[in-house]
Structure 1
């Protein structure tokens, strides 16, 4: 009986570790890397990173990336967010992820898989928010969903205090369920 208990404990431990890994927040990159990414980001993104917040929410089918103005009274930042997210959502829908590559590098986790997704396998949907905009990414392909999650983790790590995780993995807004 002791043999079976050890096996059960090992299985339970493995399940616990796997479950925890999905909820552990991304590690923050070194201060030098965060500064480098902020500098590159300022060259690619037209809005002020210090006046905005990136929110990355993993979902069961992919994820939702929001960029919102920290002060909703600053209409200029909201307009710049919307212009940029409109542009990149159209590029992402075509498989063009050159802007994130310019900011984070060609070896960014998840990027190669997103770039090589066959047309229609990764759905990209833009939506305006009162204080910014969001892009929802969804797929039925588990490998693409995992790539979106790795891509989000990399952005969370490298944007430092200008990015934060959204609500817990596994929960999602009904409007984003595809």
Structure 2
């Protein structure tokens, strides 16, 4: 079948729109890095990484981080998730990002900018979910929004198969 002499603009627009609405796949860190992060995470996060999933959705104003259980009815893990996310959301509101640094290292992308943010520049809100909890990060500062996005990207890479990107516009679903 001969190719048309001019590209079909509708076909190009349709193909482009399909690629723009899909979340970008996260790059996964090396097996050694994943092991290191898991080991450090066990000292900071009280819940079991293999029984939970981290979801990081970038939004226009920052992002939404969820930690949810993989299997319904795991009340113990839900309580551990909620306790931890509530605690760190309070710390983050005060500019204390020491726990992510303990897990991911002091040079974690976005961390320096988040630590420098003034309380009125970065809004951190904790919320309980039926299957875990979430933290919403929001700012009007373009540099902080970029820092949140880079910070989320680093966490996605470092948590490997225990993490996944959220869908655009914050609509997230657990995928198995």
TM-score band, normalised by shorter chain: 0.7 to 0.9
1:92-143 deviation digits (Å, cap 9, x = unpaired): 0000000000000000000000000012100000000000000000000000
1:46 deviates by: 0.3
1:143 and 2:143 are equivalent in the alignment: yes
- Report if aligned partners of 1:72, 1:78 keep a CA contact under 8 Å in 2: no
Q: What are the ranges of 5 or more consecutive residues in structure 1 without an aligned counterpart? A: 1-15, 174-178
Helix, strand or coil: the match of 1:36?
Answer: helix
2:43 corresponds to: 43
2:167 corresponds to: 167
Helix, strand or coil: the match of 1:154?
Answer: helix
- Report if aligned partners of 1:34, 1:158 keep a CA contact under 8 Å in 2: yes
Matches within 5 A, 1:128-139: 128-139=128-139
1:70 corresponds to: 70
Matches within 5 A, 1:1-178: 23-168=23-168, 171-172=169-170
- Report if aligned partners of 2:55, 2:67 keep a CA contact under 8 Å in 1: yes
1:23 deviates by: 4.9
Q: Given the two structures, how large is their TM-score scaled by the length of structure 2?
A: 0.83
1:134-163 deviation digits (Å, cap 9, x = unpaired): 000000000000000000000000000100
1:26 deviates by: 2.7
Root-mean-square deviation (CA), in Å?
Answer: 1.6
Higher helix share: 1
Which stretches of structure 1, 4 residues or longer, exceed 4 Å deviation after superposition? none
Q: Distance in 1 between matches of 2:26 and 2:81?
A: 24
Q: Distance in 2 between matches of 1:123 and 1:151?
A: 15
Q: What are the ranges of 5 or more consecutive residues in structure 2 without an aligned counterpart? A: 1-15, 172-176
Moved more, 23-32 or 42-51: 23-32
Helix, strand or coil: the match of 1:159?
Answer: helix
Helix, strand or coil: the match of 1:47?
Answer: coil
